[in-house]
Every structure is written in C-alpha cells, then in structure tokens.
A and B are shown apart, each in its own frame.
Chain A
Amino acid sequence: MQTKVSENRGQALKPTPETRPFWEAAKRRELQIQQCHECGAHYFYPRPMCPYCLSRNVAWVTCSGRGRLHTFVINYRPPRHYASDSPYVIGIVELEEGPRLMTNIVGVAPDPKALRCDMPVEVVFEDIDENFALPKFRPIP
C-alpha cells in the first residue's frame, strides 16, 4: 500500500507496519490512537510500545474525534509541489484523550481573527485518493 497523495502534492504517503492501522482506520472514518494498559496513557504517533513506560501492553482505541486547537500558523509559502489555495492553516490539536497531533484546520477562514488557541474542534476526513483519507479538524460551532 503506497500512493502518491495526489499528482500535485509531491509528498507520497507510505505507511510502515507500525502506522498502517492508523491509516486503515482513517479510511473507515475512525481516528485511532494507542493506549497503554500498563500506565493508562493514550499516545500518538503509532509505536509498538508505550513511550511513557515502555510497556508492550498497548492497544488501538477509537477517539471521540473532538479536541481543542492548541496552536496554529497560517502558511503563505507551501512547500514545493504542495498544491494549496494558500494560505492554509496548520494546527496542533489536543485530543480529548490527551495526545496532540498536527493537522489542517478547515471550514474556517485562514485568518488569525477567525482562529483562537483552545477553540473546540472536531475531526473530518478528507479523501486524498482511493487508498487514503486524511484526518483534518474544523471548529465546532
């Protein structure tokens, strides 16, 4: 399973054995992260052992899909070959379960007046080709 995200993005997406379950879940419209059964912590990105206690006793769980926009930038200079109607919002979302991840904030103007740290957001999935869907987030009204 490997694909060009799209002809004009240039960045191919190629899961590893460790990350494949995340991408398979995203394709099903589920945001999945891992939880440690030893210390209880949720964590992201995917790894075979808990980064807090190094236990192997970990499992995939489905997130609520809600969280808060921890911080963001509005990018006016996309990387080469990354097609976008610039500017676009790159955000760090803190999930209800605790971990943070990078994402795009969509469904809102790319304007610092329209965005605020800690504003509530929820996941939406965008198909990028027949194999992959990308979790992005939009403000919850």
Chain B
Amino acid sequence: MTRSDRSQLRGAVAIVGAGESDWVGRLPNKSALTLHMEAAHNALADAGLRKEDVDAVFTAGRNMANEVPEYLGIRPRYVDGTQMGGCSFLAHVEHALAGIVAGLFDVALITHGESGYSRVGMPATRWGDDSNNAQFELIYGYAGPTTGYGLVATRHMHVYGTTKEQMAEVAVATRKWAALNPRAFLRDPITIDDVLSSRLIAWPFNLLDCCLVTDGGAAIVVTSAERAKDLPQKPVYVLGTGEAVSHQMVSQMPNFDRWDAAMISGTQAFSMAGIKHEDIDVCELYDAFTIVPILALEALGFCKPGEGGPFVSGQRTAPGGDFPMNTNGGGLSYTHTGMYGMFAIVEAVRQLRGECGPRQVPQAQIALCHGTGGTWSSAATLILATEIP
C-alpha cells in the first residue's frame, strides 16, 4: 500500500468503549497500576466486552507493556509499549488500526494510568548523569516542560507578535468548559487578568498558563468497524490518523516558531480522513500550556502560521463560541496526569456519542483529537466520527 492509499484505511476501525478511573484528581490511595486497572475495567464494561475478548494491549511508560497485562490478568498475543509522551495513546490508535487491518488481532485495549501528583507506584523518571539531556540541558537548570514549552512561546511572540493576553484567552475559555464538568479539578471562573497576575513559573508562563498535575487513568477499546456493529455502543469511527516525532531534547527542535511534528501528523490525518477543516464540530487539543493549542491550530491548518493568537481571541473556543475546544476542561482545568492524551480521546468519544450533558456540543458528528509528547517532540492526530462519509 503506497502512502497515497492511506484513505483506504478510513473508517476501518472504531472506538467501541471508553472509560476513566472512578475519579480523577488527587488520589493518594491508588497506585498508577490501579488507575490503569479502573480505567480498563470501566472501558471494557462500556464496550460490553470481557477481558478475555482482549487480544492486544497498548500502553505507554517504562515496563508498562509487561506490567499492565500482568496486573489486569490479560495474556495478549500482541503488545505495543510505544512511549512518545502524552500523545502516545493517539499513536496507539493508529498502531491498533494497522494491526486490526492486517488481521493480527481483533480487540485492542489501550490504557493509561498515572499517579502524577501523588506519585504512588510510579516508575523512576530521572535522566542518567551521562545522558545527553543531563549534559546539555539539565546542567543549565532546565526544568522540563515549564521551561521547554516556553522557548517556543517566546520565539512565537517575537516572530508573530503573539501576546500573553492571547495565551490567557485559552486558559479562560477552557475554565468555562470545566465549570460545566462536575469531574473537573478547577471549576471557578477566571479572567485574563487572573492569568496574567498569577505567579510567574517561567516567563512567559504564569501559573494559570500551565496544566494541572493530577492522578487518574483512562482507557479505550478499539476493534474493526465490522465487529463494532454487534457491540452495544454507537461506534466512533476512526477516519484519520497521523503521528510524527521531530526531536527529543527541546534544544534540538528544528524550528521554534512552528510545530513540525504536528504539521506532519495533521497532514496524515486529514489526507486519510478526506474531510475539510470546516467539517469538524469539536476539537480536543492537548493543552499542556496555553501556547500549545495555539501552535496546534496553526500546524493543523485551522489558521495560517502566526494567526493562532488572534484565532483564539474573543473567547472563540469557550462554550457558546464558534470553535468548541477542550470541552472537558482540558489539561489546564479538568485533569493532567502527565500523559493527558488519553483524556482527549475519551472526551471526543463522549462528545460524538452525545453523552456530555451541559457541555455537549450540539450535533457533534466529527471530532479532532491532537496531542503533544515530550517538549514539542512528538505529535499525534485522530479524526473521529459517528459515520463513515
């Protein structure tokens, strides 16, 4: 199959189950693996499937491809532990699609669980003293994402005139969605001034430009479109997928005023889905920091390079705005365990099934999910829909 034939994969598989851990937020009495387990349990119940039906397990994190099946008592005949950061689970959907279409397995369980705040049962994450990260970044007091994501914000402000007020618009709009979600961690309304006057973390980021740090889990079940017809939930078809990696250390990022990995993953997803941007009813764009959705909107082609700031202005992405985005309250206000991507997928599924109550986007039929991994290092994009066009 050549690259131009990617569209033949459109709608080949569907998400037939989605679930989260029983609660998300601060969960000091649950280990990361228990959060995987609750999410998997709830997603399988949602799909109307038993764990014996699962023949492929996908998860991200060190050793997790071994640990998660053991903990759940599943002996998969196919495993994928691809770890490319918070968007790993979106990439797993593409990998599951490939395996199902190839006939290697029928039912894929993709799970996430992370005790990001309480740090219960979490693998060690420290870089070795002889790693390139330690020698060429950490030695300068590099503090990880709060500093790495900001390097792009500063350059984007310099090149395009993007402002901190425009970044704050994202935080304010996202909080309005969180106010409609009873599970959201932060629900009190905020203003642009609140964002600008919250304490500085790493200029140009103030505290309210930064995502939460919480505990939680989420999981989905993927199978063929054919099998999906026999299952209880309305299938959410996978119309388009894309993934890309451009670097690991942020100092190796090819361009600091655009998001190369997202440009690649988005192009793949749109070419496969065969739809236009205006066909999309709702977007779930991983918001590790307020600047990230702004760069994503540019990279995915919703606006031109440099126009992401004006695009989100005037609360356009808030409830009632003409561009519903991050409708669960996002990583900024709903929950952010460390690898948020799975929560973006679950929210898109719920929107497409019409299950979202007060935050439901009316007649949502096509959703776009997009994630980041590392520090702008990787990206993955999914286009999901209630029907195959």
Contacts and interface: CB of A to CB of B under 8 A. Distances in A.
Interface of A: 2, 5, 11-16, 19, 23, 45, 70-79, 82, 84, 87-88, 90, 92, 100-104, 112, 116-118, 134, 136
A71 B130 contact: no
A70 B203 contact: no
B211 to A, nearest CB: 14
Interface centre among A12, A78, A88, A92 (most CB of B within 10 A): A92
A92 B152 CA distance: 10
Contact of B132 (A19, A75, A117): A19
B251 A14 contact: no
Given A71-B151, A117-B158, A103 B203 contact: no
Contacts, number: 110
A90 B201 CA distance: 13
Contact of A134 (B139, B152, B200): B139
A23 B298 CA distance: 39
Interface string B195-214: 00001111111000000000
B132 A45 contact: yes
Given A13-B129, A72-B154, A75-B141, A102 B251 contact: yes
Interface string B108-143: 000000000000000000001110101111111111
B134 A75 contact: no
A104 B140 contact: yes
A79 B138 contact: yes
A82 to B, nearest CB: 5
Q: What is the interface residue range for chain B against chain A?
A: 35 or more
A73 B204 contact: yes
22 contacts: A11-B139, A23-B135, A73-B147, A73-B203, A73-B204, A75-B146, A76-B199, A77-B146, A77-B202, A79-B142, A79-B144, A82-B141, A84-B141, A90-B147, A90-B202, A92-B251, A100-B252, A102-B140, A102-B142, A104-B141, A112-B203, A118-B158
B86 interface: no
Q: Which 10 A-B pairs have the closest CB atoms?
A: A117-B158, A73-B150, A71-B155, A102-B251, A74-B203, A14-B129, A12-B129, A14-B130, A75-B202, A71-B154
B237 interface: no
A14 B141 CA distance: 16
Interface in B148-163: 150-152, 154-155, 158-159
Given A76-B200, A84-B141, A70 B146 contact: no
Interface in B321-371: none
B230 to A, nearest CB: 50
Contacts of B159: 117
B376 interface: no
Contacts of A13: 129, 134-135, 139
Nearest to A76: B200
Contacts of A100: 251-252
A44 to B, nearest CB: 8
Contacts of B129: 2, 11-14
Contacts of A2: 129
Contacts of A136: 140
Contact of B139 (A5, A16, A73, A77): A5
